[in-house]
Amino acid sequence: MHSQRQRLPNHFITLVGITLLFVLGAHSPVHALEYFQRNHAAMGTQFHFHVHAESAQVANTALDEAISLIEAINQIASDYLPESELSRLNRAPAHQPIPLSDDLHALLTRSIEISALTEGAFDITAAYAVQNWRRARRQQQLPKPELTAKAISMTNWRALEINHHQRTLTKTQPEILIDLGGIAKGYAADAALTILRQHGITRALVAASGDLAIGDPPPGKSGWPVTLRSFAAKDSPSPDVTSEILLHNCACSTSGDLHQYLELDGKRWSHIVDPATGLGLTRRIAATLIAPDSTTADALATAACILGPQKALQLLQDRPGISFRITELDEAHPHRPHLTISGPAFKPTAQ
């Protein structure tokens, strides 16, 4: 008796075929990502791009678009370019609604929010004070008292009123000037990282000087290595001390007078201007701040230096997604810098 071969049902064959395709597909090698790096000078600093992409073509297309966007933001937010949107806004009279582009509206809105959060430690209307202090640093002498008084009188973030429905800004006080230097680079880094993600490049880091917008970690890594700098003890052979943390999908900014300062008559003045005094800080302080986005981190890192450790703890320690590390060098104890840490991103360090 001859046995007969049974024909399998068509639906069974189809099911097996799909299963084999799924199994083979699951074990097929994933196309390896290539690493690409590019630098671009903009907004008075260097932007550094670190990306992992499928090909040079994908990377270059995304990077070109990201850089074009940074340049467009500079045309909006620069106080150096005479025909930038910000420069035109600064020339506009008080008590008159001025239309805003989407980017300038976003920048001004976030700036005012952070001014309120930090009780004015971050204040984009300290523009004249910043200009006055830059001039003093170049001339190696303190500003005249009358100029400092003028700078303080022109600093008032509450004199900025935004109509969000009509997208306009009204300056309610004459002579108000705006300087976005403390937030615009972080905003541009965020915007560039968004462009990279739109092109499918999620494993990327955009660094605008000390302002980092950080995406997914590099392949096979748990995060991007970020070097933290703080003061070395007095008479140390190294000007600062470094440590490293790994970060992903967040932002990190550092501010302080580690390297930018002015010494007059034995007194050290920071390049960071306190809006309340119109002068540079005199405390030795540096802050590294981690936040969900670089726009926030950029502004709050400078604000943390102005606030000081205790006030920063009071105002920022319960903010979602915010971690910071503040190093202060007390001249009374120059051999032992004091470290203040808040948030889960930094591990406690022995004092």
Structure tokens at 221: 């890594």
Exposed/middle/buried for residue 287 (C-beta within 10 Å: 0-12, 13-18, 19+)? buried
pLDDT confidence of residue 29: 39
The single residue listed with the structure tokens 């005249």 is 144
Distance (Å, rounded) from C-alpha 295 to C-alpha 301? 10
* CA angle (109 as vertex; 105, 115 as ends), nearest 5: 145
Is 293 one of the annotated binding-site residues? no
Which mean pLDDT values do the consecutive 10-residue runs of the chain (351 residues) have? 40 34 36 93 97 98 98 97 98 98 98 98 98 92 95 98 98 97 98 98 96 98 88 50 87 82 80 96 91 98 94 91 88 68 64 34
Is 240 one of the annotated binding-site residues? no
Structure tokens at 283: 């405390």
Give residues with Cβ within 8 angstroms of 85, minimum separation 6.
75, 76, 77, 100, 101, 104
Distance (Å, rounded) from C-alpha 298 to C-alpha 141? 28
Q: Which domains does the chain have, with CATH numbers?
A: 35-171 (3.10.520.10), 222-342 (3.10.520.10)
Other residues' Cβ atoms within 10 Å of the Cβ of residue 98 = 15
Distance (Å, rounded) from C-alpha 187 to C-alpha 110? 10
pLDDT confidence of residue 96: 97
3-class DSSP assignment, residue 237:
coil
Is 308 one of the annotated binding-site residues? no
**Crossing angle for the helix pair 102-117 and 184-198, to the nearest 10 degrees:** 130
pLDDT confidence of residue 31: 59
* Bridge partners for 268 per DSSP: 263
Global pTM reads: 0.86
Distance (Å, rounded) from C-alpha 39 to C-alpha 50? 9
pLDDT confidence of residue 284: 85
* CA angle (248 as vertex; 53, 224 as ends), nearest 5: 70
